[in-house]
Amino acid sequence: MVARSSSVLIFFFVFLAISSAFPKNKDKYKPCKHLVLFFHDIIYNGKNAANATSAIVAAPQGSNLTILAPNFHFGNIAVFDDPITLDNNLHSKPIGRAQGMYIYDTKNTFTSWLGFSFSLNSTDYQGTINFIGADPIMIKYRDISVVGGTGDFFMHRGVATIDTDSYEGEVYFRLKVDIKFYECW
């Protein structure tokens, strides 16, 4: 009985750790196409112009464009052009670019709002995937919407689960994006 209880307990904590923000309906449906990709963001901090892949372009009153704003970066807009890779290595050959913006939009925790596209240009995939959604960064798995696509992803829709695979200071982060398409054409 003790053994069983601990298993239940372990299962419970593992379940918590791996649970999505809102998993419910997602598991009822089988995706018609499935893609797992990584993208890498290096934000400009005034000193890394050569390497930076994103830049702060808007900030609330009192902030500037080389340091993310206080209060959980509330009010910052960053524009990005980030390499997309098949694995979690920044130096792997990119298969496309993640391009668009993120907005820090909460004053008491880290939350961003994403509007961006994947432009894929590899042997396997040619086309774009368009995303929007809320990204409550402190939650392990967050779901955003795939609202459309072109080329190989013509008219596709789906849900993408985002996971911060790495976060180094406030300069580099890597997102794992698990894209499940439920409408394929």
User: Residue 23: how many CB atoms within 10 A of its CB?
Assistant: 12
End-to-end CA distance of the chain: 52
Nearer to a second copy, 85 or 130 (CB): 130
Q: Please state the closest distance from residue 171 (CB atom) to a second copy, in A.
A: 15
List residues binding a second copy (CB under 8 A): 21-26, 28-29, 44, 46, 55-61, 64-66, 74-77, 79-81, 97, 99-101, 103-107, 111, 113, 115-117, 119, 126-128, 130, 132-134, 136, 143-152, 154-155, 157-159, 182-183, 185
Integer Cα distance of 102 and 120 in angstroms: 20
Q: 3-state DSSP call for residue 141?
A: strand
Between residues 8 and 50, which has the closer beta carbon with respect to a second copy?
Answer: 50
Smallest gap, in angstroms, from Cβ of residue 170 to a second copy? 16
* Inter-CA distances, 14 with 7, 18, 33, 98, 165, Å: 10, 6, 27, 31, 18
Place of tokens 């009153």: 61
Between 95 and 146, CB nearer to a second copy: 146
Nearer to a second copy, 97 or 174 (CB): 97
In the bound state with a second copy, the residue whose beta carbon lies nearer, of 38 and 74, is 74
Least Cβ distance, residue 39 to a second copy (angstroms): 13
CA angle 66, 174, 101 (to 5 degrees): 55
CB of 70 to a second copy, least distance (A): 11
Rounded (5°) CA angle 176-89-87: 50
